[in-house]
Amino acid sequence: MRVTDVRCHVLLDPGYDVTATSSAQDTIVVEVLTDAGVTGIGETDLNAWVTRACIEAPGTHTMDLGLREMLVGMDPLDPETAWRELYVGSAMSGRRGAVVHALGALDIALWDICGKARGVPCWKLWGEQATDELTPYASLQPEVNSYDEYAESILSWASRAVRLGFRAVKLEATFSGPYRHRGLDEPDERIAEVVTAVRREVGPSVEIMVDVQYAFDSVARALATAERLAEQGVFFLEAPLWADDLDAYGELSRRSPVRIAAGEWLSTRFEHADLMDRGGVQVDQPDVGRVGGLTEARRVCAMAAERGRLVVPHAWKTGISVAVAAQLAAVTPQMPFFEFLPRELCESALRQELVDDGLRYQSGVLGLPERPGIGVELDPDALERFAEAGRRVRGGIYG
Ligand SMILES: [Mg+2]
């Protein structure tokens, strides 16, 4: 089998708001076509226009080849060889960051082709089933304008999640730093206040995770919050420090009474090795597209297992990313939870409408994916509607 073409769809939620903090307002969907008539689908959590440029840019010399140009003609049934050739061939522009995130979308599409060609879900291509069911956690990220609105909204979202059967929730409690929610600028003590109120609402048996999205500029601030959160039995504290402050992560991970989690922005196993070894995090959070696709995400899971760390992947895009994370969760025993937002709790039109992710949610758990490949079905009408919204954006080189 050979790859015959790569199509990039730049998609945008027509109601997008550049002041919102969610990255689920635009996406790139890639389709990898083959001479056998099997088509693979992939996605990555990177600006859709940037991703398209990374894939479609023509090569100019042997160490800076175009991803699309290289992939056409390759054997899609050997994603690991394709990964190595694309990674090495794009090295002068890539090795880390955007080009590797774009490579991730292509790698996911190749694994989708492998599963579809064999008629099995991707996880069955990888060996041992780790579990009979997946335990999702609900990420709660209210878009609000004031602390009072936030506190009210997060409580009602948390209780809705528990009514829907969720056994774990993650609160995006970001009141300072670059990612802070619109209109919020609150002292650090507010984080524990909110968590205490949510704990009272959901009871002792629901796991609570807290994501502060790079809020703290020192280990001392992060540690003070971690100590307050420990009193509420928080499962992990996510992204307390800036992504590049690995030595600070190392110190915090050693001293914190709560597990420290990070890794959503990183690319390649090499960056995740640094995060675990120098940064010392107890919970690694690769985003499957951004890390470089399923090929690289599986390597990161193996590295985490060797080091006795947990993996809780980041998946905040459309149902494609969610379905892909579910494939990984099926074969990863050290993955206690998996990010999944049911349509009822989600504000993203792309997440709601673009694909049927094939995942069956019932009473707090998801069954293992059963459809061939990554298991998603694109809605062609939604694809066209979001592509049209993307085409309407003018400016820069696409103006
Ligand atoms: Mg996060």
Expressed in angstroms and rounded, the spacing between residue 213 Cα and the centre of ligand 1 is 6
Expressed in angstroms and rounded, the spacing between residue 376 Cα and the centre of ligand 1 is 24
Expressed in angstroms and rounded, the spacing between residue 137 Cα and the centre of ligand 1 is 13
Residues 207 and 338 grouped into a single domain: yes
Residues 260 and 338 grouped into a single domain: yes
pLDDT at position 19: 80
Expressed in angstroms and rounded, the spacing between residue 68 Cα and the centre of ligand 1 is 30
Phi, psi of 124 (to 5 degrees): -75, -15
Expressed in angstroms and rounded, the spacing between residue 243 Cα and the centre of ligand 1 is 11
Domain containing 47 equals 3-120+379-398
Residues 160 and 106 grouped into a single domain: no
Residues 23 and 86 grouped into a single domain: yes
Expressed in angstroms and rounded, the spacing between residue 98 Cα and the centre of ligand 1 is 18
Q: How far apart are CA 134 and CA 362, in angstroms?
A: 11
Q: How far apart are CA 345 and CA 322, in angstroms?
A: 14
Query: 373: which 2 tokens?
Result: 């490949």
Expressed in angstroms and rounded, the spacing between residue 314 Cα and the centre of ligand 1 is 7
Expressed in angstroms and rounded, the spacing between residue 340 Cα and the centre of ligand 1 is 13
Expressed in angstroms and rounded, the spacing between residue 374 Cα and the centre of ligand 1 is 23
Question: Residue 147's domain is classified under what CATH number?
Answer: 3.20.20.120
Residues 318 and 328 grouped into a single domain: yes
Question: Residue 93's domain is classified under what CATH number?
Answer: 3.30.390.10
Expressed in angstroms and rounded, the spacing between residue 48 Cα and the centre of ligand 1 is 19
Expressed in angstroms and rounded, the spacing between residue 81 Cα and the centre of ligand 1 is 31
pLDDT at position 396: 46
Expressed in angstroms and rounded, the spacing between residue 262 Cα and the centre of ligand 1 is 8
Expressed in angstroms and rounded, the spacing between residue 239 Cα and the centre of ligand 1 is 7
Q: How far apart are CA 250 and CA 224, in angstroms?
A: 16
Residues 263 and 185 grouped into a single domain: yes
pLDDT at position 101: 98
Expressed in angstroms and rounded, the spacing between residue 315 Cα and the centre of ligand 1 is 9
Expressed in angstroms and rounded, the spacing between residue 83 Cα and the centre of ligand 1 is 26
**DSSP tag of 209:** E
Partners of 237 in beta bridges: 210, 260
* Total domains present in the chain: 2
What angle, 0 to 180 degrees and rounded to 10, lies between the N-to-C axes of helices 98-118 and 319-329? Answer: 70
Phi, psi of 365 (to 5 degrees): -135, 160
Dihedral (Cα; 135, 141, 142, 148), 10-degree rounding? 100
Expressed in angstroms and rounded, the spacing between residue 238 Cα and the centre of ligand 1 is 7
Expressed in angstroms and rounded, the spacing between residue 325 Cα and the centre of ligand 1 is 15
Expressed in angstroms and rounded, the spacing between residue 211 Cα and the centre of ligand 1 is 6
Expressed in angstroms and rounded, the spacing between residue 264 Cα and the centre of ligand 1 is 7
Give the residue ranges of DSSP H helices in the chain: 48-56, 67-71, 79-89, 98-118, 147-163, 189-202, 219-230, 246-255, 268-277, 288-291, 294-306, 319-329, 349-353, 380-391
Residues 203 and 178 grouped into a single domain: yes
Residues 132 and 109 grouped into a single domain: no
Residues 58 and 128 grouped into a single domain: no
Expressed in angstroms and rounded, the spacing between residue 390 Cα and the centre of ligand 1 is 25
Q: Closest Cα to residue 161, out of 196, 209, 193, 211?
A: 209
CA dihedral sign, ordered 319, 324, 329, 330: positive
Q: How does pLDDT run along the chain (399 residues), one tens digit per residue?
A: 999 999 999 999 998 888 877 788 999 999 999 999 999 999 999 999 999 999 999 999 999 999 999 999 999 999 999 999 999 999 999 999 999 999 999 999 999 999 999 999 999 999 889 999 999 999 888 878 899 999 999 999 999 999 999 999 999 999 999 988 777 899 999 999 999 999 999 999 999 999 999 999 999 999 999 999 999 999 999 999 999 999 999 999 999 999 999 999 999 999 999 999 999 999 999 999 999 999 999 999 999 999 999 999 999 889 999 999 999 999 999 999 988 877 767 778 998 999 999 998 888 999 999 999 999 999 999 999 999 999 998 654 454
Reported pTM: 0.96
Residues 194 and 254 grouped into a single domain: yes
Residues 103 and 129 grouped into a single domain: no
Expressed in angstroms and rounded, the spacing between residue 346 Cα and the centre of ligand 1 is 16
Expressed in angstroms and rounded, the spacing between residue 76 Cα and the centre of ligand 1 is 32
Expressed in angstroms and rounded, the spacing between residue 179 Cα and the centre of ligand 1 is 10
Q: Closest Cα to residue 313, out of 291, 280, 295?
A: 291
pLDDT at position 219: 98
The answer to whether the CB of 266 falls within 8 A of the CB of 239 is: no
Residues 182 and 91 grouped into a single domain: no
